[in-house]
């Protein structure tokens, strides 16, 4: 939510912050990072290196400071002719053409080479390459961008002209990508993530690195919302701005060796070899196809290693992530754009106690559209301490170590014969926590302020047991899901989620720079969602009295059938849960009394829940 | 507090079921006429189609009654479903846009569907079977409230 240092002063070098308490392996080496190809402007004030006319009043305003940050710029930007339209870098048609040439050669294939001969083949490729470059050149000539007020306008196209205006207050994240060729030529691609676009909107390819960094900084400072840098959460030491987090490359390698693909590769190789030895036939086709299959299997971990190489995160005013070997990416995510954080603990990483964190930002998260393309890593690999600090960086005020969840009622074991204890949900002061998975354990953290809608879904089997699932939908791809809760508890949970989401939405907006008072009432709310039948006294003390009388969300009418006895009961808003077992599971898991309490460690994510 | 949807929605469903059953029966009858052998199976199929139609009618009647929506101060509640029951709580502040649609059958019975879209693809806030006046009233109220409390993301 909205709690950073009271005066984050982004120009301040991160080393100045009290680093010694942070659990990072190498907190030193923050500021210079000599081998760093990136100009580290993201944490500094807007660099005036750009060739555009720097509007007056841009640099003294801290980026994202308040509503006033946009105004002088908007005024300056709206002056006619204040900003001429910029073109992309002149080399970009060549780079784009190079990309297409690879595709062309692949399309022509070896067969064509055999048919037409080498010289003709080269000539064809050359002719096509020239055509492609000319075509890209025309596109480059007609492509331009400029900032008008709080909009980025991009013009492109010769025949079908497209003039696109991107309102910058809708900007979700900005990424600077540098593929291999762009790294060799000192260029970069700027990608803006906007909600609603099926793909990345307006990749500006290519700019010089300086221009890209400066433009990104400018766009982000223009997109800064009022009240995003409100106040710090009182008394939580984990919300200090992180100087830097760096994933050791050896860890990354080992972690990718511990994926199923890499782990079972030796067995596969051994099996194939024994097959060959048994049959005694070493045909070329057989070996080649085996090698291809192997390559396909092994490629994914290799790609992940290349992609996440040299991963480092800078937490200044925003999250800044750098990673990549062949294609470096540098991503800036304002913390209020984080829709959800997912913590994953793969089975094979348990010995190392390693976790994976992924970040959900609206617009870019397409979990199904290829894992390698999306830039959703918050931490490719790391130990719990690192994960704790990173979660605190992405979701200020959230401490991963004390996120308590309560399991579903005992009778849900008929639906989850194995590992019912690993399912759970909980309401903490800042986020809705839900976890699942016996083998690969997962935990989803959804900040209340990001909840878009709440759903209660009850399938036929669940109805037999008087259970229901509560979803907290976000604009990202992932939804928090409290599976198989007691029906009454599910309704109360949904109501509570809606209430807290509303409070979280309205709280930061009203006092933009005010003291943290609006945030504190949320912290007073009991953190644990009592797995016992819902006691209205637990629900109601939330700071704002519920506008709605609870019975509105009641199952009355929602269960028009004469169903099983426990679902046919809802005579009041809080059915007194006629089910006899529903009261029991809470006994083994006393929730934490207050957000600061550290006792429910045994209920945290990476530890084995105690036997109920 | 819960408002039901119009019971004429049941007629829309009924016509759909009837059309479907008629097509199925026609297919079965042509099969019976053309093959003219082992007619028992064709008759059994027809009986099954009729039973299915009756069963779907019963389900449809109850499913229409299962739809409901409630406008609270800050959010819209929609519930529906018999086999799988859904309850959605969608805050007005999260509204991105509102759709009002009416298909030909719905129009013939004077009905419309209002759908509230949020930035989350998973949100489902769709209310079918509203009389046009109620649909436009709901739409106007949703947009007015959404403008008041706009906080899209």
Q: Write out pLDDT tens, residues A495-521.
A: 999 999 988 887 754 333 333 333 233
- Domain containing residue B95: 68-148
Res B151 pLDDT > 70: no
> Which of A141, A156, A177 marks a domain boundary?
A141
Confidence check: pLDDT of A545 > 50: no
Residue A127 lies in a domain: yes
Select the more confidently predicted residue: A599 or A366: A366
Q: Where are the beta strands (DSSP E) in A362-459?
A: 377-382, 424-427, 431-436, 441-447, 453-458
How many Å lie between the alpha carbon of A188 and the closest alpha carbon of chain B? 29
Region of poorest pLDDT, from A404-408, A600-604, B17-21, B124-128: A600-604
For residue A273, what pLDDT is reported?
Answer: 79
Q: Of B45, B65, B85, which residue sits at a domain end?
A: B65
CB within 8 Å: A455 and B87? yes
Structural domain includes residue B124: yes
The SS3 assignment for A323 reads strand
Q: Find the mean pLDDT for residues B5-28.
A: 92
Mutation target to probe the B interface, by most B beta carbons within 10 A, among A473, A498, A554 is: A473
Residue A350 within any structural domain of the chain: no
Sort out which chain A residues have CB atoms less than 8 A from B79's CB and list them.
557-558
Q: How far is CA A380 from CA A239, A249, A250, A317, A428, in A?
A: 21, 10, 12, 22, 25
Same domain, B74 and B135: yes
ipTM of the complex: 0.88
Which residues lie closer than 8 Å to A47 by C-beta, 6 or more apart?
A39, A41, A210, A213, A214, A217
B128 and B82 in a single domain? The answer is: yes
Average pLDDT, chain A: 67
**What DSSP character marks residue B121?**
T
For residue A77, pLDDT beyond 80: no
Q: Which residue has the tokens 């030491």?
A: A237
Flag whether pLDDT at A229 surpasses 70. Answer: no
Is residue A451 included in any domain, yes or no?
A: yes
Residues B60 and B81 in one domain: no
Domain final position from A75, A107, A141? A141
Q: A443 near A343, Cβ under 8 Å?
A: yes
Last residue of a domain, one of B14, B44, B65: B65
Does the beta carbon of A319 lie under 8 angstroms from any beta carbon of chain B? no
Structural domains in chain A (count) = 2
For residues B83 and B143, membership in a common domain is answered with: yes
Q: Does residue A308 lie within any of the structural domains? A: no
A55 band by pLDDT with thresholds 50, 70 and 90: very low
Among residues of chain A, what percentage have pLDDT more than 70? 61
Query: What is the structure's pLDDT at A374?
Result: 65
- Which residues are CB-contacts of B64 (< 8 A; sequence separation ≥ 6)? B5, B7, B9, B10, B13, B129
pLDDT at A282: 64
pLDDT of residue B17: 94
B56: pLDDT strictly greater than 70: yes
- Does A133 have pLDDT greater than 90? no
In a domain, A215, yes or no: no
Q: Is A474 on the interface with B (CB under 8 A)?
A: yes
Contact A383, A460 (CB under 8 A): no
Tokens in use for A491?
């309704």
Please indicate, yes or no, whether residues B72 and B143 belong to a single structural domain of this protein: yes
Interface contacts A/B by beta carbons within 8 Å:
114
Q: Does one domain contain both B53 and B108?
A: no
DSSP summary character for residue A84:
P
Number of domains observed in the structure of chain B: 2
Mean pLDDT of B80-92: 90
Q: How far, in Å, CA of A397 to CA of A3, rounded? A: 7
Neighbours of A125 (CB within 10 A): 16
Alpha carbon distance A229, A225 (integer Å): 9
Domain check: are B78 and B113 in the same one?
yes
* Closest-CA distance of chain B to residue A568, Å: 13
Highest mean pLDDT (candidates A5-14, A35-44, B130-139): B130-139
Locate A160 and state its tokens: 């079908």
- What's the CA gap between A121 and A193, in Å, rounded? 40
**Residue B61 counted as domain residue:** yes
Give the closest-approach CA distance of A461 to chain B in angstroms.
9
Starting at the earlier edge strand, list the strands of the sheet with A377-382: A377-382, A355-361, A338-345, A441-447, A431-436, A424-427
Asked whether residue B138 is domain-assigned, the answer is: yes
Torsion of CA B70, B76, B77, B79, to 10 degrees: 90
Residue with tokens 């119009």: B6
Instruction: Tell me, yes or no, whether A318 lies in a domain.
Output: no
Do B79 and B115 have their domain in common?
Answer: yes
- Asked whether residue B16 is assigned to any structural domain, the reply reads yes
Beta-bridge mates of residue A532: none
Residue at B84 is within a domain: yes
pLDDT score of A543 more than 90: no
Asked if residue B92 and residue B59 are part of one domain, the reply reads: no
Say if residue B31 is in the same domain as residue B82.
no
Distance between CA atoms of residues A599 and A182, nearest Å = 51
Question: Which pLDDT value is given to residue A419?
Answer: 76
Are A376 and A358 in contact by the 8 Å Cβ rule? The answer is: yes
Q: In terms of CA atoms, which chain B residue is nearest residue A467?
A: B85
Yes or no: say if B131 and B110 are a contact pair by the CB < 8 Å rule.
yes
- Reported as type and span, the H/E element at residue A151 is strand A151-156
Which of A198-207, A494-503, B40-49 is predicted least confidently?
A198-207
Q: Name which of A216-220, A286-290, B119-123 the model is least confident about.
A: A286-290
The answer on pLDDT for A114 being more than 50 is: yes
According to DSSP, the β-strands at B75-80 and B68-71 are antiparallel
Instruction: Let me know: does B135 contact B100? Beta carbons within 8 Å.
Output: yes
Of residues A465 and A59, more confidently modeled: A465
The chain B residues in contact with chain A (CB within 8 A) are 1-2, 62, 65-66, 68, 70, 72-75, 77, 79, 82-91, 93-94, 118-120, 122-125, 151-153
Task: Give the CATH number, domain containing residue B101.
Answer: 2.30.29
- Lowest mean pLDDT of A25-39, A54-68, A78-92, A532-546, name the range: A532-546
On chain B, the residues whose CB falls within 8 A of the CB of A470 are none
Query: Would residue B153 count as lying in a domain?
Result: no
**At A72, is the pLDDT very low, low, confident or very high (cuts 50, 70, 90)?**
very low
Domain range for A131: 92-141
- Tell me the CA distances in angstroms from A124 to A94, A95, A130, A138, B31, one per residue in order: 18, 19, 10, 21, 60
pLDDT in tens, B23-41: 999 998 888 888 866 778 8
**Residues B59 and B31 grouped into a single domain:** yes
Percentage with pLDDT > 90 across chain A:
8
Residue B143 has pLDDT above 90, yes or no: no
Could you tell me if B48 and B104 lie in one domain? no
CA nearest to A462 within chain B: B84
pLDDT value for A491? 92
Q: What is the pLDDT of residue A163?
A: 83
pLDDT of the residue at A148: 86
- In angstroms, what CA-CA distances link A86 with A152, A206, A207, A212, B36? 11, 12, 10, 12, 78
Burial of A424 (0-12, 13-18, 19+ CB in 10 A): buried
Mean pLDDT in chain B? Answer: 88
Q: Which of B65, B91, B106 is the last residue of a domain?
A: B65
């Amino acid at each position: 939510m909205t709690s950073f240092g009271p005066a984050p002063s982004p120009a301040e070098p991160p080393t100045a912050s009290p680093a010694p308490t942070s659990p990072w392996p190498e907190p030193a080496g923050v500021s210079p990072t000599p081998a760093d190809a990136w100009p580290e402007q993201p944490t500094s004030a807007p660099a005036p290196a750009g060739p555009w006319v720097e509007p007056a009043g841009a640099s003294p305003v801290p980026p994202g400071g308040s509503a006033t940050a946009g105004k002088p710029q908007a005024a300056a930007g709206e002056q006619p002719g204040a900003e001429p339209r910029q073109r992309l870098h002149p080399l970009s048609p060549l780079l784009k053409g190079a990309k297409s040439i690879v595709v062309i050669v692949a399309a022509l294939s070896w067969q064509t080479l055999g048919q037409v001969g080498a010289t003709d083949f080269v000539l064809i490729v050359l002719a096509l390459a020239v055509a492609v470059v000319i075509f890209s050149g025309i596109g480059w000539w007609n492509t331009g961008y400029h900032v008008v007020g709080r909009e980025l306008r991009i013009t492109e196209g010769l025949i079908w002209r497209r003039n696109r205006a991107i309102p910058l207050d809708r900007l979700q994240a900005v990424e600077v990508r540098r593929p291999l060729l762009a790294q060799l030529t000192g260029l970069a691609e700027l990608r803006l993530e906007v909600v609603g676009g099926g793909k990345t909107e307006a990749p500006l390819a290519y700019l010089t690195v300086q221009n890209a960094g400066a433009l990104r900084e400018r766009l982000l400072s223009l997109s800064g919302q009022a009240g995003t840098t409100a106040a710090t959460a009182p008394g939580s030491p984990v919300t200090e701005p992180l100087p830097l987090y760096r994933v050791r490359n050896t860890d990354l390698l080992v972690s990718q060796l511990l994926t199923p693909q890499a782990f079972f590769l030796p067995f596969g190789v051994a099996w194939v070899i024994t097959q060959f030895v048994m049959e005694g036939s070493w045909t070329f086709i057989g070996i080649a196809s085996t090698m291809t299959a192997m390559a396909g299997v092994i490629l994914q971990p290799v790609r992940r290693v290349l992609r996440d190489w040299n991963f480092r995160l800078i937490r200044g005013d925003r999250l800044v992530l750098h990673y990549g070997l062949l294609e470096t990416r540098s991503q800036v995510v304002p913390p209020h754009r984080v829709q959800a954080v997912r913590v994953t603990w793969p089975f094979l990483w348990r010995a190392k106690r390693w976790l994976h964190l992924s970040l959900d930002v609206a617009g870019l998260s397409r979990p199904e559209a290829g894992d390698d393309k999306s830039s959703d890593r918050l931490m490719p690999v790391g130990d719990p301490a690192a994960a704790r600090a990173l979660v605190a960086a992405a979701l200020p005020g959230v401490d991963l170590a004390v996120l308590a969840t309560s399991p579903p009622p005992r009778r849900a074991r008929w639906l989850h014969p194995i590992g019912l204890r690993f399912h759970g949900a909980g309401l903490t002061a800042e986020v809705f926590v839900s976890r699942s998975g016996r083998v690969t354990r997962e935990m989803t953290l959804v900040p209340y302020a990001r909840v878009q809608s709440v759903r209660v879904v009850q399938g036929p089997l669940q109805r037999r047991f008087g259970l229901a699932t509560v979803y907290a939908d976000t604009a990202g791809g992932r939804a928090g899901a409290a599976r198989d809760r007691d029906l009454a508890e599910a309704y109360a949970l949904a109501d509570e989620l809606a209430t807290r989401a509303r409070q979280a939405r309205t709280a930061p907006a009203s006092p933009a720079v005010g003291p943290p008072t609006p945030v504190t009432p949320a912290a007073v709310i009991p953190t644990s969602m009592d797995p016992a039948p819902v006691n209205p006294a637990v629900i109601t003390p939330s700071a704002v009295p519920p506008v709605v009388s609870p019975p509105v969300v009641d199952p009355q009418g929602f269960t028009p059938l004469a169903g099983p006895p426990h679902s046919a009961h809802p005579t009041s808003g809080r059915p007194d849960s006629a089910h006899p077992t529903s009261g029991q599971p809470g006994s083994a898991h006393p929730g934490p009394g207050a957000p600061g309490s550290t006792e429910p460690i045994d209920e945290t994510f990476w530890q084995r829940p105690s036997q109920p | 507090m819960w408002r039901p949807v119009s019971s004429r929605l049941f007629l829309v469903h009924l016509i759909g079921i009837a059309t479907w059953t008629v097509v199925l029966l026609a297919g079965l009858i042509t099969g019976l006429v053309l093959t003219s052998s082992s007619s028992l199976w064709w008759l059994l199929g027809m009986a099954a189609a009729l039973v299915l139609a009756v069963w779907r009618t019963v389900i449809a009647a109850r499913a229409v009654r299962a739809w409901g929506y409630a406008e609270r101060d800050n959010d819209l509640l929609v519930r529906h479903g018999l086999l799988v029951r859904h309850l959605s709580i969608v805050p007005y502040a999260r509204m991105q846009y509102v759709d009002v649609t009416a298909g030909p059958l719905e129009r013939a019975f004077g009905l419309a569907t209002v759908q509230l879209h949020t930035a989350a693809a998973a949100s489902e806030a769709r209310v079918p079977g509203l009389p046009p006046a109620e649909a436009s009233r709901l739409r106007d109220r949703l947009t007015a409230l959404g403008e008041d409390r706009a906080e899209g993301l």
